[in-house]
Amino acid sequence: MIMNKFTNYGFDQEILTAIDKLGYVQPTKVQEELFPVILSQQDAIVKSQTGSGKTAAFALPILQQLDWNIRTPQVLVLTPTRELALQIKDDMFHLGRYKRMNVQAVFGKMSFEGQRKQLAQRTHVVVGTPGRVLDHLIQHTLDVSEVAYLVIDEADEMFTMGFEEEMQKILERLPKQRQTILLSATLDERIETLCQQQMHQPAFIDVISKRNVFDVIEQQAYEAVGDKDQLLEDVLMKENPDSAIIFCNTQEMVNHVANEVIGYPEATRKLHGGMDQKDRIQVITDFKLGYFRYLVATDVAARGLDIEKVELVINYDVPSDVQTYVHRIGRTGRKDQQGKAITLVTPNEMGMLHKLESELAITLSMQPTITEGMRKTYEQAFVSKRSQNRTLVKEKSLAFKEDIMKLHINAGKKTKMRPGDVVGAITSIEGILATDIGVISIVDVSTFVEILNGKGQLVFDALQDLPIKGRIRRINKANVSQYEIDYYNQENK
Protein backbone atom coordinates (compact mmCIF):
# COMPACT_ATOMS: atom_id res chain seq x y z
CA MET A 1 0.00 0.00 0.00
CA ILE A 2 1.28 3.47 -0.83
CA MET A 3 1.13 5.45 2.39
CA ASN A 4 1.61 9.00 1.29
CA LYS A 5 -1.46 9.60 -0.84
CA PHE A 6 -3.87 12.46 -0.29
CA THR A 7 -6.68 9.96 0.30
CA ASN A 8 -5.04 8.76 3.51
CA TYR A 9 -5.89 11.84 5.52
CA GLY A 10 -9.68 11.70 5.49
CA PHE A 11 -10.15 14.75 3.26
CA ASP A 12 -13.66 15.31 1.90
CA GLN A 13 -14.38 14.54 -1.73
CA GLU A 14 -14.66 18.28 -2.47
CA ILE A 15 -11.08 18.77 -1.34
CA LEU A 16 -9.81 15.70 -3.16
CA THR A 17 -11.44 16.93 -6.38
CA ALA A 18 -9.65 20.27 -6.12
CA ILE A 19 -6.33 18.52 -5.44
CA ASP A 20 -6.92 16.31 -8.43
CA LYS A 21 -7.80 19.24 -10.71
CA LEU A 22 -4.63 21.04 -9.66
CA GLY A 23 -2.67 17.96 -10.63
CA TYR A 24 -1.15 17.24 -7.21
CA VAL A 25 -0.38 13.53 -7.09
CA GLN A 26 1.69 13.14 -3.94
CA PRO A 27 1.79 15.25 -0.81
CA THR A 28 5.10 17.06 -0.41
CA LYS A 29 7.29 16.50 2.66
CA VAL A 30 5.91 19.44 4.62
CA GLN A 31 2.36 18.38 3.75
CA GLU A 32 2.94 14.82 4.96
CA GLU A 33 4.17 16.17 8.26
CA LEU A 34 1.74 19.04 8.78
CA PHE A 35 -1.57 17.45 7.71
CA PRO A 36 -1.85 15.09 10.70
CA VAL A 37 -0.76 17.79 13.15
CA ILE A 38 -3.40 20.29 12.04
CA LEU A 39 -6.07 17.61 11.72
CA SER A 40 -5.43 16.58 15.33
CA GLN A 41 -5.92 20.19 16.49
CA GLN A 42 -2.32 20.73 17.52
CA ASP A 43 -0.43 24.01 17.13
CA ALA A 44 2.62 23.94 14.87
CA ILE A 45 5.87 25.75 14.16
CA VAL A 46 6.99 25.02 10.62
CA LYS A 47 10.44 25.79 9.31
CA SER A 48 10.03 25.75 5.55
CA GLN A 49 10.33 27.86 2.45
CA THR A 50 8.08 28.78 -0.43
CA GLY A 51 8.23 26.14 -3.09
CA SER A 52 7.86 23.34 -0.55
CA GLY A 53 4.07 23.27 -0.91
CA LYS A 54 3.64 24.91 2.48
CA THR A 55 0.49 26.85 1.57
CA ALA A 56 -1.45 23.69 0.74
CA ALA A 57 0.15 22.06 3.80
CA PHE A 58 -1.80 24.35 6.14
CA ALA A 59 -4.65 25.23 3.79
CA LEU A 60 -5.97 21.73 3.09
CA PRO A 61 -6.43 20.48 6.66
CA ILE A 62 -7.84 23.85 7.72
CA LEU A 63 -10.31 24.03 4.82
CA GLN A 64 -11.31 20.47 5.62
CA GLN A 65 -12.44 21.52 9.09
CA LEU A 66 -14.35 24.72 8.30
CA ASP A 67 -18.09 25.11 8.67
CA TRP A 68 -19.59 26.70 5.55
CA ASN A 69 -22.60 27.96 7.50
CA ILE A 70 -20.67 30.32 9.73
CA ARG A 71 -20.88 33.81 8.23
CA THR A 72 -17.77 35.44 9.69
CA PRO A 73 -14.14 34.37 9.13
CA GLN A 74 -12.91 31.19 10.74
CA VAL A 75 -9.35 31.53 9.46
CA LEU A 76 -6.96 34.47 9.57
CA VAL A 77 -3.72 34.22 7.61
CA LEU A 78 -1.18 36.98 8.22
CA THR A 79 1.55 37.57 5.64
CA PRO A 80 4.21 40.26 5.39
CA THR A 81 3.60 41.33 1.79
CA ARG A 82 0.60 42.09 -0.38
CA GLU A 83 1.83 39.86 -3.17
CA LEU A 84 2.07 36.93 -0.81
CA ALA A 85 -1.39 37.67 0.56
CA LEU A 86 -2.84 37.51 -2.94
CA GLN A 87 -0.93 34.35 -3.76
CA ILE A 88 -2.16 32.54 -0.64
CA LYS A 89 -5.67 33.82 -1.19
CA ASP A 90 -5.61 32.48 -4.71
CA ASP A 91 -4.27 29.06 -3.63
CA MET A 92 -6.81 28.75 -0.82
CA PHE A 93 -9.60 29.82 -3.13
CA HIS A 94 -8.73 27.07 -5.62
CA LEU A 95 -8.28 24.42 -2.95
CA GLY A 96 -11.56 25.34 -1.27
CA ARG A 97 -13.51 25.93 -4.44
CA TYR A 98 -15.63 22.82 -4.35
CA LYS A 99 -16.40 23.47 -0.68
CA ARG A 100 -17.61 26.94 -1.75
CA MET A 101 -15.23 28.67 0.60
CA ASN A 102 -15.10 32.42 0.24
CA VAL A 103 -11.53 33.64 0.67
CA GLN A 104 -10.78 37.37 0.87
CA ALA A 105 -7.51 39.24 0.80
CA VAL A 106 -7.10 42.52 2.67
CA PHE A 107 -4.04 44.71 2.32
CA GLY A 108 -3.03 48.33 2.08
CA LYS A 109 -3.06 50.64 -0.91
CA MET A 110 -6.41 49.20 -2.02
CA SER A 111 -9.81 50.62 -1.22
CA PHE A 112 -10.74 50.05 2.42
CA GLU A 113 -14.38 50.49 1.55
CA GLY A 114 -14.23 47.82 -1.15
CA GLN A 115 -12.72 45.42 1.36
CA ARG A 116 -15.34 46.34 3.95
CA LYS A 117 -18.06 45.38 1.48
CA GLN A 118 -16.39 42.08 0.71
CA LEU A 119 -15.96 41.27 4.38
CA ALA A 120 -19.63 41.96 4.95
CA GLN A 121 -20.42 38.95 2.74
CA ARG A 122 -20.14 35.43 4.07
CA THR A 123 -16.37 34.99 4.37
CA HIS A 124 -14.56 31.88 5.54
CA VAL A 125 -10.93 32.86 5.18
CA VAL A 126 -9.17 36.23 5.39
CA VAL A 127 -5.60 36.59 4.21
CA GLY A 128 -3.99 39.92 4.93
CA THR A 129 -1.06 42.08 5.82
CA PRO A 130 -0.89 43.18 9.48
CA GLY A 131 -1.45 46.92 8.99
CA ARG A 132 -4.67 46.59 7.03
CA VAL A 133 -5.98 43.70 9.10
CA LEU A 134 -5.52 45.83 12.22
CA ASP A 135 -7.28 48.78 10.54
CA HIS A 136 -10.26 46.56 9.83
CA LEU A 137 -10.28 45.33 13.42
CA ILE A 138 -10.18 48.87 14.78
CA GLN A 139 -12.98 49.99 12.45
CA HIS A 140 -15.01 46.87 13.33
CA THR A 141 -15.23 45.88 9.68
CA LEU A 142 -13.61 42.50 10.35
CA ASP A 143 -15.31 40.24 12.86
CA VAL A 144 -12.82 37.74 14.27
CA SER A 145 -15.03 36.28 16.96
CA GLU A 146 -15.25 32.96 15.09
CA VAL A 147 -11.57 32.71 14.14
CA ALA A 148 -10.47 29.21 15.05
CA TYR A 149 -7.26 29.13 12.99
CA LEU A 150 -4.49 31.68 12.89
CA VAL A 151 -1.66 31.23 10.40
CA ILE A 152 1.40 33.50 10.59
CA ASP A 153 3.32 33.06 7.35
CA GLU A 154 6.92 34.19 6.81
CA ALA A 155 7.15 35.11 10.48
CA ASP A 156 10.81 36.11 10.18
CA GLU A 157 9.93 38.63 7.50
CA MET A 158 7.11 40.00 9.66
CA PHE A 159 9.72 40.98 12.23
CA THR A 160 12.21 42.26 9.65
CA MET A 161 9.53 44.50 8.19
CA GLY A 162 8.67 45.87 11.62
CA PHE A 163 5.17 44.43 11.96
CA GLU A 164 5.71 43.26 15.55
CA GLU A 165 3.48 45.88 17.14
CA GLU A 166 0.63 45.42 14.68
CA MET A 167 0.87 41.66 15.08
CA GLN A 168 0.65 41.91 18.88
CA LYS A 169 -2.39 44.16 18.63
CA ILE A 170 -4.08 41.71 16.26
CA LEU A 171 -3.28 38.75 18.50
CA GLU A 172 -4.82 40.52 21.50
CA ARG A 173 -8.10 40.77 19.64
CA LEU A 174 -8.34 37.13 18.51
CA PRO A 175 -10.21 34.43 20.43
CA LYS A 176 -7.88 32.57 22.80
CA GLN A 177 -9.42 29.24 21.87
CA ARG A 178 -7.84 28.64 18.49
CA GLN A 179 -5.20 26.71 16.65
CA THR A 180 -2.05 28.64 15.69
CA ILE A 181 0.36 27.71 12.93
CA LEU A 182 3.53 29.70 12.38
CA LEU A 183 5.73 29.30 9.31
CA SER A 184 9.17 30.77 8.88
CA ALA A 185 12.33 30.19 6.89
CA THR A 186 14.44 31.06 9.92
CA LEU A 187 13.68 31.02 13.63
CA ASP A 188 15.15 33.43 16.12
CA GLU A 189 14.54 34.41 19.72
CA ARG A 190 11.75 36.85 18.93
CA ILE A 191 9.84 34.20 17.02
CA GLU A 192 10.40 31.67 19.77
CA THR A 193 9.05 34.12 22.36
CA LEU A 194 6.01 34.76 20.19
CA CYS A 195 5.42 31.01 19.91
CA GLN A 196 5.73 30.53 23.65
CA GLN A 197 3.19 33.28 24.26
CA GLN A 198 0.71 32.22 21.62
CA MET A 199 0.92 28.46 21.33
CA HIS A 200 0.10 25.42 23.33
CA GLN A 201 2.55 22.53 23.04
CA PRO A 202 3.29 23.09 19.38
CA ALA A 203 4.64 20.40 17.09
CA PHE A 204 7.91 21.41 15.46
CA ILE A 205 8.36 20.59 11.79
CA ASP A 206 11.61 21.33 10.00
CA VAL A 207 11.76 20.62 6.30
CA ILE A 208 14.42 23.13 5.35
CA SER A 209 17.41 21.20 6.50
CA LYS A 210 16.12 18.15 4.65
CA ARG A 211 16.63 19.81 1.29
CA ASN A 212 19.57 22.09 1.08
CA VAL A 213 19.01 24.83 -1.50
CA PHE A 214 22.68 24.85 -2.27
CA ASP A 215 22.50 21.27 -3.52
CA VAL A 216 20.11 22.14 -6.31
CA ILE A 217 21.33 25.59 -7.28
CA GLU A 218 24.52 26.01 -9.22
CA GLN A 219 26.16 29.23 -8.10
CA GLN A 220 28.57 31.14 -10.30
CA ALA A 221 30.17 34.58 -10.37
CA TYR A 222 31.73 36.81 -13.01
CA GLU A 223 34.14 39.58 -12.31
CA ALA A 224 33.05 42.79 -14.00
CA VAL A 225 36.41 44.24 -14.81
CA GLY A 226 35.09 46.87 -17.15
CA ASP A 227 31.45 47.54 -17.84
CA LYS A 228 28.86 45.61 -15.82
CA ASP A 229 26.19 46.45 -18.39
CA GLN A 230 28.12 44.73 -21.14
CA LEU A 231 28.77 41.78 -18.86
CA LEU A 232 25.05 41.38 -18.17
CA GLU A 233 24.32 41.34 -21.89
CA ASP A 234 27.03 38.75 -22.43
CA VAL A 235 25.79 36.51 -19.63
CA LEU A 236 22.20 36.68 -20.89
CA MET A 237 23.43 35.75 -24.34
CA LYS A 238 25.56 32.88 -23.09
CA GLU A 239 22.94 31.43 -20.75
CA ASN A 240 20.02 32.26 -23.05
CA PRO A 241 17.43 31.37 -20.37
CA ASP A 242 13.70 31.05 -21.02
CA SER A 243 13.12 32.98 -17.83
CA ALA A 244 15.40 34.95 -15.56
CA ILE A 245 15.11 37.36 -12.66
CA ILE A 246 17.75 40.07 -12.59
CA PHE A 247 18.06 41.52 -9.11
CA CYS A 248 19.28 45.06 -8.45
CA ASN A 249 19.70 46.79 -5.10
CA THR A 250 17.76 49.96 -5.98
CA GLN A 251 14.80 51.15 -8.06
CA GLU A 252 17.10 53.43 -10.03
CA MET A 253 19.25 50.49 -10.98
CA VAL A 254 16.17 48.47 -12.00
CA ASN A 255 15.15 51.32 -14.30
CA HIS A 256 18.64 51.58 -15.71
CA VAL A 257 19.01 47.84 -16.37
CA ALA A 258 15.54 47.36 -17.80
CA ASN A 259 15.49 50.52 -19.93
CA GLU A 260 19.07 50.88 -21.00
CA VAL A 261 20.91 47.59 -20.69
CA ILE A 262 18.64 44.81 -21.87
CA GLY A 263 18.03 45.67 -25.49
CA TYR A 264 14.98 43.48 -25.67
CA PRO A 265 12.03 45.53 -24.40
CA GLU A 266 9.24 43.18 -25.49
CA ALA A 267 10.64 40.45 -23.25
CA THR A 268 11.56 42.61 -20.26
CA ARG A 269 9.48 43.98 -17.40
CA LYS A 270 10.29 45.75 -14.15
CA LEU A 271 9.21 45.15 -10.58
CA HIS A 272 9.97 47.46 -7.67
CA GLY A 273 8.29 48.95 -4.62
CA GLY A 274 7.75 52.32 -6.26
CA MET A 275 5.29 50.85 -8.74
CA ASP A 276 1.56 50.94 -8.44
CA GLN A 277 0.25 47.88 -6.57
CA LYS A 278 -1.96 46.88 -9.46
CA ASP A 279 0.97 47.01 -11.91
CA ARG A 280 3.14 44.97 -9.53
CA ILE A 281 0.57 42.22 -9.34
CA GLN A 282 0.05 42.25 -13.08
CA VAL A 283 3.80 41.92 -13.72
CA ILE A 284 4.10 38.99 -11.31
CA THR A 285 1.07 37.25 -12.82
CA ASP A 286 2.39 37.70 -16.35
CA PHE A 287 5.83 36.45 -15.35
CA LYS A 288 4.36 33.39 -13.64
CA LEU A 289 2.41 32.59 -16.77
CA GLY A 290 5.51 32.98 -18.91
CA TYR A 291 4.52 36.01 -20.99
CA PHE A 292 8.00 37.52 -20.87
CA ARG A 293 11.54 36.34 -20.20
CA TYR A 294 13.36 38.87 -18.07
CA LEU A 295 12.09 40.28 -14.81
CA VAL A 296 14.31 43.08 -13.52
CA ALA A 297 13.52 43.55 -9.85
CA THR A 298 14.47 44.86 -6.45
CA ASP A 299 14.11 42.57 -3.47
CA VAL A 300 10.33 42.97 -3.43
CA ALA A 301 10.42 39.95 -5.72
CA ALA A 302 12.83 37.92 -3.61
CA ARG A 303 10.55 36.87 -0.81
CA GLY A 304 7.89 34.29 -0.79
CA LEU A 305 6.78 34.44 -4.36
CA ASP A 306 6.06 31.13 -5.94
CA ILE A 307 7.19 31.44 -9.53
CA GLU A 308 7.71 28.15 -11.24
CA LYS A 309 10.61 27.46 -13.51
CA VAL A 310 12.84 30.48 -13.11
CA GLU A 311 15.82 29.13 -14.96
CA LEU A 312 18.30 31.73 -13.89
CA VAL A 313 18.75 34.33 -11.18
CA ILE A 314 21.26 37.09 -11.82
CA ASN A 315 22.53 39.37 -9.10
CA TYR A 316 23.35 42.45 -11.09
CA ASP A 317 24.27 44.04 -7.76
CA VAL A 318 25.83 41.93 -5.04
CA PRO A 319 23.26 41.78 -2.24
CA SER A 320 24.31 43.40 1.01
CA ASP A 321 23.53 40.48 3.32
CA VAL A 322 23.32 36.72 3.43
CA GLN A 323 19.55 36.50 3.93
CA THR A 324 18.91 38.55 0.80
CA TYR A 325 21.32 36.42 -1.20
CA VAL A 326 19.67 33.19 -0.09
CA HIS A 327 16.18 34.48 -0.78
CA ARG A 328 17.14 35.81 -4.21
CA ILE A 329 18.76 32.63 -5.41
CA GLY A 330 15.90 30.61 -3.90
CA ARG A 331 13.65 31.88 -6.73
CA THR A 332 15.32 29.27 -8.94
CA GLY A 333 15.78 25.55 -8.39
CA ARG A 334 12.30 25.05 -6.99
CA LYS A 335 10.32 21.87 -6.51
CA ASP A 336 13.39 19.71 -7.04
CA GLN A 337 14.38 21.26 -10.34
CA GLN A 338 17.97 22.34 -10.85
CA GLY A 339 18.55 26.08 -10.84
CA LYS A 340 21.34 28.49 -11.53
CA ALA A 341 22.36 31.76 -9.90
CA ILE A 342 24.99 34.11 -11.27
CA THR A 343 26.43 37.08 -9.40
CA LEU A 344 28.15 39.94 -11.20
CA VAL A 345 30.93 41.43 -9.11
CA THR A 346 32.95 44.59 -9.62
CA PRO A 347 36.41 44.75 -7.99
CA ASN A 348 34.83 47.06 -5.38
CA GLU A 349 32.20 44.45 -4.53
CA MET A 350 34.69 41.60 -4.20
CA GLY A 351 34.92 42.13 -0.45
CA MET A 352 31.14 41.77 -0.10
CA LEU A 353 31.20 38.59 -2.13
CA HIS A 354 33.92 37.07 0.05
CA LYS A 355 31.95 38.00 3.14
CA LEU A 356 28.87 36.20 1.75
CA GLU A 357 30.95 33.20 0.87
CA SER A 358 32.53 32.92 4.27
CA GLU A 359 29.23 33.40 6.13
CA LEU A 360 27.55 30.74 4.03
CA ALA A 361 30.62 28.51 3.89
CA ILE A 362 30.39 28.23 0.11
CA THR A 363 32.57 29.25 -2.82
CA LEU A 364 30.99 30.60 -5.97
CA SER A 365 32.53 29.22 -9.11
CA MET A 366 34.35 32.09 -10.79
CA GLN A 367 33.74 32.08 -14.56
CA PRO A 368 36.19 33.13 -17.26
CA THR A 369 35.57 36.44 -19.06
CA ILE A 370 33.22 36.15 -22.04
CA THR A 371 35.29 37.11 -25.06
CA GLU A 372 34.21 38.53 -28.39
CA GLY A 373 34.87 35.12 -29.98
CA MET A 374 32.65 33.39 -27.41
CA ARG A 375 29.89 35.93 -28.00
CA LYS A 376 29.83 34.99 -31.69
CA THR A 377 29.27 31.31 -30.86
CA TYR A 378 26.36 32.14 -28.54
CA GLU A 379 24.74 34.68 -30.83
CA GLN A 380 22.93 32.35 -33.18
CA ALA A 381 21.06 30.44 -30.47
CA PHE A 382 20.23 33.73 -28.77
CA VAL A 383 18.78 35.32 -31.89
CA SER A 384 16.88 32.19 -32.79
CA LYS A 385 15.24 31.97 -29.34
CA ARG A 386 14.14 35.60 -29.63
CA SER A 387 11.98 34.75 -32.60
CA GLN A 388 10.45 31.61 -31.10
CA ASN A 389 6.96 31.59 -29.64
CA ARG A 390 6.92 31.21 -25.89
CA THR A 391 5.41 28.25 -24.13
CA LEU A 392 2.94 29.64 -21.62
CA VAL A 393 2.36 28.15 -18.18
CA LYS A 394 -1.13 26.84 -17.62
CA GLU A 395 -3.02 29.16 -15.27
CA LYS A 396 -4.26 27.34 -12.18
CA SER A 397 -7.84 28.38 -12.75
CA LEU A 398 -7.77 26.75 -16.19
CA ALA A 399 -7.51 23.40 -14.43
CA PHE A 400 -11.09 23.92 -13.32
CA LYS A 401 -12.38 25.25 -16.60
CA GLU A 402 -14.32 22.29 -17.96
CA ASP A 403 -15.89 21.68 -14.59
CA ILE A 404 -16.70 25.16 -13.40
CA MET A 405 -18.41 27.93 -15.33
CA LYS A 406 -18.57 31.43 -13.92
CA LEU A 407 -21.70 33.36 -14.82
CA HIS A 408 -22.21 37.08 -14.65
CA ILE A 409 -25.65 38.44 -13.78
CA ASN A 410 -26.26 42.13 -14.46
CA ALA A 411 -27.71 42.95 -11.07
CA GLY A 412 -26.00 43.31 -7.74
CA LYS A 413 -26.04 45.13 -4.42
CA LYS A 414 -27.67 48.24 -5.88
CA THR A 415 -30.73 46.17 -6.78
CA LYS A 416 -30.54 44.41 -3.39
CA MET A 417 -29.56 41.07 -4.88
CA ARG A 418 -28.75 38.49 -2.21
CA PRO A 419 -27.10 35.09 -2.46
CA GLY A 420 -30.44 33.49 -1.54
CA ASP A 421 -32.09 35.03 -4.62
CA VAL A 422 -29.45 33.52 -6.88
CA VAL A 423 -29.49 30.12 -5.18
CA GLY A 424 -33.31 30.08 -5.20
CA ALA A 425 -33.52 30.72 -8.93
CA ILE A 426 -30.76 28.31 -9.88
CA THR A 427 -31.94 25.41 -7.72
CA SER A 428 -35.40 25.73 -9.27
CA ILE A 429 -33.84 24.50 -12.54
CA GLU A 430 -34.46 20.81 -13.04
CA GLY A 431 -31.34 18.75 -12.43
CA ILE A 432 -29.55 21.41 -10.37
CA LEU A 433 -28.83 20.97 -6.68
CA ALA A 434 -27.49 23.50 -4.19
CA THR A 435 -24.19 21.60 -4.26
CA ASP A 436 -23.80 22.50 -7.95
CA ILE A 437 -23.44 26.16 -6.98
CA GLY A 438 -20.00 27.43 -6.04
CA VAL A 439 -18.80 30.76 -4.73
CA ILE A 440 -21.17 33.72 -5.24
CA SER A 441 -19.73 37.26 -5.29
CA ILE A 442 -22.17 40.13 -5.30
CA VAL A 443 -20.75 43.56 -6.13
CA ASP A 444 -22.45 46.87 -6.83
CA VAL A 445 -24.17 46.20 -10.13
CA SER A 446 -23.04 42.65 -10.84
CA THR A 447 -23.23 39.18 -9.41
CA PHE A 448 -20.74 36.42 -10.21
CA VAL A 449 -21.75 32.85 -9.53
CA GLU A 450 -19.80 29.68 -10.15
CA ILE A 451 -21.65 26.65 -11.46
CA LEU A 452 -19.87 23.41 -10.62
CA ASN A 453 -19.89 19.83 -11.87
CA GLY A 454 -20.01 20.67 -15.56
CA LYS A 455 -23.57 22.03 -15.29
CA GLY A 456 -22.70 25.60 -16.34
CA GLN A 457 -24.23 25.44 -19.80
CA LEU A 458 -27.48 23.99 -18.46
CA VAL A 459 -27.83 26.82 -15.94
CA PHE A 460 -26.76 29.43 -18.48
CA ASP A 461 -29.47 28.29 -20.92
CA ALA A 462 -32.15 28.04 -18.27
CA LEU A 463 -31.45 31.51 -16.84
CA GLN A 464 -32.09 33.16 -20.19
CA ASP A 465 -35.82 33.09 -19.44
CA LEU A 466 -35.95 32.41 -15.72
CA PRO A 467 -36.52 35.40 -13.46
CA ILE A 468 -34.10 36.11 -10.62
CA LYS A 469 -35.62 38.28 -7.89
CA GLY A 470 -38.66 38.90 -10.03
CA ARG A 471 -37.01 39.86 -13.30
CA ILE A 472 -35.30 38.26 -16.26
CA ARG A 473 -31.66 39.30 -15.98
CA ARG A 474 -28.94 39.53 -18.57
CA ILE A 475 -26.63 36.54 -18.07
CA ASN A 476 -23.14 36.22 -19.52
CA LYS A 477 -20.40 33.65 -19.27
CA ALA A 478 -17.94 35.63 -17.19
CA ASN A 479 -14.54 35.47 -18.69
CA VAL A 480 -12.89 37.02 -15.67
CA SER A 481 -10.32 35.78 -13.24
CA GLN A 482 -10.77 36.02 -9.50
CA TYR A 483 -8.16 38.79 -9.51
CA GLU A 484 -10.29 40.87 -11.82
CA ILE A 485 -13.38 40.40 -9.69
CA ASP A 486 -11.34 41.50 -6.70
CA TYR A 487 -10.22 44.65 -8.43
CA TYR A 488 -13.70 45.33 -9.64
CA ASN A 489 -14.89 44.99 -6.07
CA GLN A 490 -12.17 47.11 -4.58
CA GLU A 491 -12.58 49.91 -7.03
CA ASN A 492 -16.32 50.18 -6.88
CA LYS A 493 -16.51 51.86 -3.53
Enumerate binding residues for ligand AMP (CB under 6 A): 24, 26-28, 31, 50-56, 91, 306, 335
Tell me whether residue 56 or residue 432 sits nearer to ligand AMP (CB atom): 56
Distance (Å, whole) CA 313 – CA 328: 7
| Number of Cβ atoms within 10 Å of the Cβ of 70 | 13
Q: How far is the CB of 154 from ligand AMP (least distance, A)?
A: 11
Q: Which is nearer to ligand AMP, 4 or 410 (CB)?
A: 4
Nearer to ligand AMP, 28 or 104 (CB): 28
User: Beta strand 447-451 with 405-409: parallel, antiparallel or unpaired?
Assistant: antiparallel
Query: Shortest gap between Cβ of 53 and ligand AMP (angstroms)?
Result: 3
Write down the least CB distance from residue 489 to ligand AMP, Å: 24
Q: What are phi and psi of 173, to 5 degrees?
A: -90, -5
Nearest distance, CB of residue 238 and ligand AMP, angstroms:
29
Report the helix count and the strand count for the chain, using DSSP H and E.
19, 18
Q: 181 exposed, middle or buried (CB, 10 Å; 0-12, 13-18, 19+)?
A: buried
Nearer to ligand AMP, 50 or 184 (CB): 50
Instruction: Select 153 or 166, whichever has its Cβ closest to ligand AMP.
Output: 153
Angle 470-474-477 from CA coordinates, rounded to 5°? 130
Backbone φ and ψ for 485, nearest 5 degrees, come out as: -60, -40
Concatenating the DSSP letter of every residue in 133-153 gives HHHHHHTT-S--TT--EEEE-
Q: Give the 3-state secondary structure of residue 444.
A: coil
Shortest Å, Cβ 28 to ligand AMP? 5
Strand partners, 268: 294
Taking the C-alpha atoms of residue 458 and residue 437, their distance in angstroms, rounded to an integer, is 12
In the complex, the smallest distance separating the C-beta of residue 25 from ligand AMP, rounded to whole angstroms, is 6
Shorter beta-carbon distance to ligand AMP: residue 335 or 493: 335
Q: Which is nearer to ligand AMP, 24 or 264 (CB)?
A: 24
**Residue (of 74, 97, 85, 100) closest to 179 by Cα position:** 74
User: Minimum Å distance from CB 87 to ligand AMP?
Assistant: 7
